[in-house]
């Protein structure tokens, strides 16, 4: 139903999208993607803020909601970074701030990456991975230091 709402928004049919998203949110009020799309289906800035605040309550690292709130608050610098960003685009071009940089994946690797059913993985998943790696390497380093001390003191 979210995909249908997204298509309705692409066609400019906000009322249809809003009805579909209301049904989704009736069944799952913690659906960040539905709230984010709802922010594009509502009519007033106040309603947009409420929807975007709900997104950030569910997923504090949601880049789209953060950027949208900055734009609502008059964040012109954000507009320069994101340019003509289209959240509905099938293929997203790099924002102006990243123009000229190498892509994160080659074209073949990007196609091989699994896509999440409900949307993009987001920053929070990457942050959890980074923290897990830091803990793993921190424990490894601690073990190596303890072994080195034991070797130096002749305990082993």
Q: What is the CATH number of the domain that holds 42?
A: 1.25.40.10
Residues 77 and 25 in one domain: yes
Q: In terms of residue numbers, what domain contains 152?
A: 122-156
Which regions of the chain does DSSP assign to beta strands (E)?
Answer: none
Q: Are residues 108 and 128 in the same domain?
A: no
Both 102 and 131 in a single domain? no
* Structure token digits, residue 127: 């942050």
Residue-by-residue DSSP string for 83-102: TT--TT-SSPPPPGGGTTSP
pLDDT digits (tens, 9 = 90+) for 3-60: 999 999 999 999 999 999 999 999 988 999 999 999 999 988 889 989 999 999 999 9
- How far CA 156 is from CA of 100, 145, 146, in Å, comes to 55, 14, 11
Kindly give, in sequence order, each residue whose CB lies less than 8 Å from that of residue 75, ignoring residues fewer than 6 positions away. 67
- 78 and 29 share one domain: yes
Name the token pair of 117. 């059913």
* 130 has a pLDDT exceeding 50: yes
Are residues 141 and 69 part of one domain?
A: no
- The region of weakest confidence among 49-58, 132-141, 142-151 is 132-141
Residues 141, 80: one domain?
A: no
- Considering the domain architecture, whether residues 112 and 155 belong to the same structural domain is answered as no
Do 136 and 73 belong together in one domain? no
Query: Which tokens go with 135?
Result: 């803990």
Query: How far apart, in whole angstroms, are the C-alpha atoms of residue 127 and residue 105?
Result: 19
* The pLDDT value given to residue 123: 42
Distance of CA 114 to the CA centre of its chain: 16
Token pair listed for 123: 């920053």
Whole-model pTM: value is 0.50
Q: How far apart are alpha carbons 35 and 41 in whole angstroms?
A: 10
Confidence of residue 2 (pLDDT cuts 50, 70, 90): confident
Asked whether residue 78 falls in the same domain as residue 127, the answer is no
pLDDT in tens, 83-119: 555 555 555 454 444 455 454 444 544 454 444 334 4
Contact 1, 28 (CB under 8 A): no
Q: How many domains does the chain have?
A: 2
Q: Are residues 152 and 101 in the same domain?
A: no
Residue 35 sits in the same domain as residue 53: yes
* Token reading at 61: 């690292």
Question: Looking at the structure, do residues 49 and 22 belong to the same domain, yes or no?
Answer: yes
């Amino acid at each position: 139903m979210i995909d249908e709402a997204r298509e309705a928004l692409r066609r400019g049919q906000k009322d249809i999208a809003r009805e579909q998203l209301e049904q989704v949110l009736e069944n799952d009020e913690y659906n960040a993607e539905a709230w984010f799309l709802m922010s594009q289906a509502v009519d007033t800035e106040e309603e947009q803020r409420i929807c975007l605040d709900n997104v950030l309550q569910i997923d504090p690292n949601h880049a789209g909601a953060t950027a949208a709130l900055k734009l609502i608050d008059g964040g012109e610098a954000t507009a320069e970074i994101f340019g003509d960003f289209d959240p509905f685009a099938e293929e997203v071009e790099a924002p102006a701030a990243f123009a000229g940089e190498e892509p994160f994946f080659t074209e073949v690797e990007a196609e091989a990456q699994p896509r999440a059913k409900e949307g993009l993985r987001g920053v929070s998943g990457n942050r959890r991975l980074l923290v897990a790696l830091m803990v793993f390497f921190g424990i490894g380093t601690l073990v190596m230091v303890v072994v080195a001390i034991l070797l130096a003191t002749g305990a082993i």
